[in-house]
Amino acid sequence: MPSLADTTAEILLRHPHEAGRPLSDSPLAALIREEWRAAGAEAAASHHRVRASAGRGRAWAQVPWLAWFDELITTSAQRGFYVVLLLSPERATATLSLAIGSEAVTRAFGEARGRAVLRRRAADVRDRLPDHAARFDAGPIDLGGTSTLPRGYEASHCFGRTYALPDLSDAALHADLHALLAAYADLIARGGLLPPELVADPRAALAERVESAPHVRRMAFTAHGHACAACGLDGRLAYAGTADPVTEVHLLTPTARPGTEDVAILCPTCHAAIHAQDDPADMAALRRRLRFVVGTPG
Ligand SMILES: [Zn+2]
Ligand SMILES: [Zn+2]
C-alpha cells in the first residue's frame, strides 16, 4: 500500500513541473487518482467513499484534493460536507480540513456572498463541534492559487490541520485523519448543517436521512424486494408503468449503518402509520391494525 505522507509529498514536489503539461496522459494525474486515492482509502471505513481529483476535463486543479465522503451526506465535493486533504503546491502545504462543499453554495448565492455564507456555516460547524474543534486549528487557511475554487475551499474550512511539506508524516496524518473522521460522524449525528432550532429530534432526523440514502435503499430493496412488509402492496406491480418503486425503506434499528435486518420495506401509507406508533419498530403491532386487503393483480 502506498504511504499517504510520501504520496502527498511527491505530488506537492512534482505538481509545479507537471501541471504545465496535458492532464489527460500525465503520470502525476495517474498517481493522484490511483496511488493517492488508494492511500486515502486505506484509512477509511467501509461507509466512506474516497475520491481524488487532479483536475477536471483538460484543466489541472490548482489545489488537488483527496476527499472522504460519508454516503449519508454526499458523494461529491461540490455539495454537502466531508473531510478533505487539500494540496497547495504554491505554498508547499497540505491541509486536512472538515469542509463544506463550496460549489453548490457559490452557485446558489454568487461568489462573494457565497463565500460569506460558507464562512458563516463553517463557524456554525465549529459551534456544533466545540469538543472536536479544540483539538484542531480553526483559523483561516491560505491555499494560494488565483482561481475561484481555492477561495471557496478556504471559506468552507471548518477546522483541521496544515502541514508544511517537511513535516508530513504518516503517524501525524493518520492520527489527525482518524480524529477528523470522528468529528465528521459526530456532525452527522448532531444534525449536520441544519440549525438546531430546526432539528427537534436529531435521532429522528438521522433516521430520515438513513431511510432516504440511495445506498441504503439499494441494499434494502435488494434484500427484501419491493412489496410492503405489512400489507403486501408492491408499488411496481400495483401501479403499471411506475419506474421508481413506490414502496419506501423503514429503519427498524436506530443506526446510521443499517444491515439487512435493520430495515423493512413499507408502502407510504403503512410507513406513515408505523411512524405514528409509540414504537416505530413494532411491525407486529402495525400488522394487527391493518383493516384492508390488497388483491393480487392479473
Ligand atoms: Zn421509517
Ligand atoms: Zn403497506
What's the gap in Å between 104 CA and the centre of ligand 1? 28
Among 281, 291, 272, CA closest to 251: 281
pLDDT tens profile 47-62: 899 999 999 888 899 9
What's the gap in Å between 278 CA and the centre of ligand 2? 18
What is the distance between the alpha carbons of residues 46 and 29, in angstroms, rounded to a whole number? 25
pLDDT tens profile 145-192: 888 889 999 999 999 999 999 999 999 999 999 999 999 999 998 888
What's the gap in Å between 250 CA and the centre of ligand 1? 4
Evaluate if residue 297 carries a pLDDT over 90: no
Residue located via cell numbers 423493512: 264
Q: What is the pLDDT of residue 296?
A: 59
Cα separation of the two ends of the chain: 56
Answer with the residue of higher pLDDT: 235 or 3: 3
What's the gap in Å between 211 CA and the centre of ligand 1? 7
What's the gap in Å between 245 CA and the centre of ligand 2? 13
Q: What is the pLDDT of residue 20?
A: 84
E strand or H helix at 68, and its extent?
strand 59-70
Query: 3-state DSSP call for residue 37?
Result: helix
Q: What is the pLDDT of residue 295?
A: 59
Evaluate if residue 144 carries a pLDDT over 60: yes
At 202, is the pLDDT very low, low, confident or very high (cuts 50, 70, 90)? Answer: confident
